Each structure stands twice: as C-alpha cells, then as structure tokens.
Amino acid sequence: MADITNTAANRARSASENPVKRFFRATEIDTRLLGMVGALLIIWIGFNILSGGLFLTPRNLWNLSVQTASVAVMATGMVLVIVTRNIDLSVGSILGFVGMIMGVLQAEILPQILGFNHPATWILALLAGLLLGAAIGALHGAIIAFLNVPSFIVTLGGLLVWRGATWFVTSGRTVAPMDATFRLMGGGTEGSIGATASWIVGALACIAIIATIVNSRKQRQRFGFPQRPMWAEYFLTAVGCALVLGAIGVVNSYPWPVAIARKYADANGIAWPDGGLFIPHGIAIPVLIAIVVGIVMTFIATRLRFGRYVFALGGNPEAAELAGIKTRWVTVKIFALMGMLCAIAAAISTARLNAATNAQGELDELYTIAAAVIGGTSLAGGMGTIAGAMLGALVMQSLQSGMVLVGIDTPFQRIVVGMVLVVAVWLDTVYRARAK
C-alpha cells in the first residue's frame, strides 16, 4: 500500500519537473561534482587554446596526473579533518620531515646494515615512514582531543616544529639518491606500468563499476526500495567505463622519450625502427597509488563505522557524544590517518625528486586545504567527499601547470591561484544557499 502511494507521488513529482531535473534525479548524479568537472574542462580547454594546443596533449596530461598525486593523497585525509571542524596546517611539514627520515634511512642507514641496493630497503623505509607519519598525526590528534587545544594552534605549532626538525636531521643537507625501487613511486618512464598493465587496470575498473551498480540494484531490490530506471543504470555504467578507458587511452599514447627508448632497445637487443620505437608510459605508479588511496579513503568514509562517526561528529559533536561515540578517539584516529597519508605523499614526492630536501612540502598544507575546500568540503563541518577533494587537487594543479605552459610569471601564478580559491568557495556558498 505504502509502495503504491509512494510511486504515485514520485510520478506526480517527476511529471512536474523539467527533463533536465528529471535526468539528474533519475541518475542521482551529484550536480555539484558535475559543476566541478565542468570547471575543470573549461580550464583545460582555455589553457589549450592559450598555449596553442600544448595543454591537451597526452604528455601534458600524463605529467599533470603525476604532479597532482602527492597533494591529492593528502587532500583525501584533509576532507575528514575539515569535516570534523578541525584543520591541519602541518601536513607540508610532516611531509618534509617524514620524507627526510625515509631519505636518510634508505640512503645512509639501511645500506650500512643491509648492504647497498638490498631489495628490502624501499619497503623498510616506506614502513618506517608510514609509522612515523601515523605517530606524529596521533600525537597532534591526542593534544587536540584530550588536552583541548584547538587544532589550528596544534598544527600551526606542528608546522614550525616539524619543519625545524627536518633541518636538524641532516643539518640542512639534501639527501640523495633514493633507492632504485623506492624511486618507482615517483613516476617517470621507469615508474609507469606500461600499456598492457594499464589496459588490465582499466578493464578491472570497468568490471568494478558494473559490479557496484548491479550490486546496489540487487540490494535495493532485496528490501523493495525505489530503484533507478534501467536507462539511468546503463547510462552511468557507460559514462563510467568510457571515462576510465579514455584516461587509459591518453596515458597509453604518451611514448617514452627517444633517448630512453633507444637505450632500452639497445639493452634488450631490439632493432631500432626508422620511425622510432613507440613504448607507451601507461599509468604512472604515483597516480595508481593516489587512485588506490582515493578508493580506500572513500571506502573508509562511506562504508565503515569510523567514517559514519566522522560525519556525524562534524555535523553535531554534542549529538555524536550523546549517541555514545568516543569522539576523542575518533579525532585521534583522523589525525593519525592524516599523518599516514602525509607519509605516502612524502614517499611520492621524495621518489619523484630522487632526493629528500629541507624545503620539501613547503606550502603543501595550503594547496591541500585549498583542494579539499574547492572540492566541496565545508569548513562548517559535516560535509565533503573524497572524490571532490581529489578533483579539487586536479583543478589546482591544472591551473598551475597551465599557467607555466602559457608562460605566466610565478608571482602572478600565486595571485591567480589565491583568487580562484576565494571565488570557488564563494560560488559554492551561492550554490548551497540556492540548493536550500
């Protein structure tokens, strides 16, 4: 009975809507996220025209993906931090410090113990970094949760402390080079998985998309909930798969540079053809890491109890406490997770630079926060998505590398990025006010 009235009401409602609205309601697409994709496309096409077709090349897009990885990884954690009405200003400094420790471990300490180029070097360095990052984050979280010091102050202190500590590790000396395997996390020709593996990843992603949609439909069926119309399901599947395969196609059409390809051909006894050897990069490992982090973090935020508590806590801390949630521990866990993500970002950026330096990650805290906020995370707490933040990171990086391509001076680049941040948040405020 309830079902009949329900569908009748739905039908009555959909009849009064215009086709566009009906489309968005049927597909349940987040219009906000769609707006961001639109903004990204405008930026891309704009820079492509301004740079005379240099922006939308496989090479630039591949580089863009690699440059985005580090901040994108940290932005996923920043979402949870900001959702609980906290802030983390120390992520750049944690990145610097953890990167320096991992650098010293693999370049100076581990070779003495294990011997040079030992296969376990990279994993030990990475594990140590992850533990250290989590420990630093947990320390910050504990001070915030149990000593009631505002997160702004604790992490502002952390910003100074860990940057200073980075200097102390080697008295300011840059540490290089990194372990050969560790370096793969930074991308480059070596640190990419190649065409075949990329297609396999793409195929797996498509299977995952289909499985998710089928499973969610089955679940809704099991309990007799209203369902999306079939055409909407097909549409979502098609768009999802097309995006994935399109991206793979792009990274697979960026070939290795001639010099490296030639060296590879010589080393493997391949005859050098006249037109040059076309060896595609495929997905860069740091990008793969960032995607996996994004999926895991989305899983944590939406499918696990911890994620549910994070959002409940951000919306109404008192209600969460009264519901029996151990809010302090949730805070500690969030910051520990943030620290761990800083360690992953540190691994990516030290590997990419092939060195650990004093200044690594400087200003990254601001880019990370900006990415999360542009991606729709509300500073008032309780709202934000992981995917949005990663997209926000991509928007920021697109602006920056676009301006480099077009040849805009560094000071002016900062002015633009700063203004874009403010305008983006203003637009978001307007959008949200209207949505109510």
Partner 1 sequence: MTDTRTPLVEMKNISISFGGIHAVDNASIDLYPGEVVALLGHNGAGKSTLIKILSGAYKRDSGEILINGEPADINNPRDAKKYGIETIYQTLAVADNVDAAANLYLGRELRTPWGTLDDVAMEAKTREVMGRLNPNFQRFKEPVKALSGGQRQSVAIARAILFNARILIMDEPTAALGPQETAQVGELIKQLKKEGIGIFLISHDIHDVFDLADRVSVMKNGQVVGHARTEDVTKDEVLGMIILGKVPEKAIPGPGAMQTT
Could you give the CA distance from residue 138 to residue 144 in angstroms, rounded to a whole number?
10
Residue 116 in the binding site for partner 1 (CB under 8 A): no
- Ranges of beta strands (E only) in 193-311 are none
Residue 315 in the binding site for partner 1 (CB under 8 A): yes
Could you give the CA distance from residue 74 to residue 348 in angstroms, rounded to a whole number?
11
Contacting partner 1 (CB under 8 A), which of 118, 217, 308, 328? 308
Could you give the CA distance from residue 249 to residue 229 in angstroms, rounded to a whole number?
30
Task: Tell me how far, at minimum, the Cβ of 306 lies from partner 1, in Å.
Answer: 10
Of the two residues 313 and 373, which places its CB atom closer to partner 1 in the complex? 313
Residue 2 in the binding site for partner 1 (CB under 8 A): yes
Residue 318 in the binding site for partner 1 (CB under 8 A): yes
Residue 21 in the binding site for partner 1 (CB under 8 A): no
Q: What is the DSSP letter of 187?
A: -
Could you give the CA distance from residue 86 to residue 332 in angstroms, rounded to a whole number?
12
Residue 388 in the binding site for partner 1 (CB under 8 A): no
Chain-centroid distance of CA 40 in Å reads: 15
Task: Tell me how far, at minimum, the Cβ of 211 lies from partner 1, in Å.
Answer: 15
CB-based contacts of 8, cutoff 8 Å, min separation 6: none
Mask for 357-386, x = binds partner 1 (CB under 8 A): ------------------------xxx---
Helix (H, G, I), strand (E, B) or coil at 55: coil
CB 181 within 8 A of CB 122: yes
Residue 409 in the binding site for partner 1 (CB under 8 A): no
Phi/psi of residue 175, nearest 5 degrees: -105, 130
**Distances from the Cα of 165 to the Cαs of 170, 198, 264, 293, 338, in angstroms?**
9, 40, 41, 27, 19
Of the two residues 9 and 49, which places its CB atom closer to partner 1 in the complex? 9
Of the two residues 410 and 429, which places its CB atom closer to partner 1 in the complex? 429
Only one residue has tokens 């008295």, namely: 171
Task: Tell me how far, at minimum, the Cβ of 319 lies from partner 1, in Å.
Answer: 4
Token couple for 432:
């949200």
b/e for 239-272, b at 16 or more Cβ within 10 A?
ebbeebeebbebbbbbbbeeeebeeebeeeeeee
Of the two residues 52 and 324, which places its CB atom closer to partner 1 in the complex? 324
Q: What is the DSSP letter of 179?
A: P
Mask for 274-303, x = binds partner 1 (CB under 8 A): -------------------------x--xx
Task: Tell me how far, at minimum, the Cβ of 84 lies from partner 1, in Å.
Answer: 11
Of the two residues 161 and 300, which places its CB atom closer to partner 1 in the complex? 300
∠ CA 285-289-293, rounded to 5°: 170
Maximum Cα interatomic distance, the chain, rounded to a whole number of Å = 75
CB 178 within 8 A of CB 355: yes
Residue 52 in the binding site for partner 1 (CB under 8 A): no
**Distances from the Cα of 236 to the Cαs of 240, 296, 348, 350, 381, in angstroms?**
6, 21, 32, 38, 30
CB 175 within 8 A of CB 103: yes
Residue 320 in the binding site for partner 1 (CB under 8 A): yes
Residue type at 420 in one-letter notation: V
Token couple for 402:
């676009």
Contacting partner 1 (CB under 8 A), which of 321, 353, 354, 358? 321
Contacting partner 1 (CB under 8 A), which of 316, 359, 410, 422? 316
Beta bridge partners of 192: 284
Task: Tell me how far, at minimum, the Cβ of 123 lies from partner 1, in Å.
Answer: 27
Contacting partner 1 (CB under 8 A), which of 18, 19, 147, 222? 222
Of the two residues 280 and 384, which places its CB atom closer to partner 1 in the complex? 384
Of the two residues 188 and 376, which places its CB atom closer to partner 1 in the complex? 376
Contacting partner 1 (CB under 8 A), which of 52, 112, 115, 223? 223
Residue 395 in the binding site for partner 1 (CB under 8 A): no
Of the two residues 327 and 350, which places its CB atom closer to partner 1 in the complex? 327
Of the two residues 196 and 302, which places its CB atom closer to partner 1 in the complex? 302
Task: Tell me how far, at minimum, the Cβ of 406 lies from partner 1, in Å.
Answer: 40
Residue 433 in the binding site for partner 1 (CB under 8 A): no
Of the two residues 263 and 326, which places its CB atom closer to partner 1 in the complex? 326
> Residue numbers of the site for partner 1 (CB under 8 A)?
2, 6, 9, 219-220, 222-223, 225, 299, 302-305, 308, 311-316, 318-325, 381-383
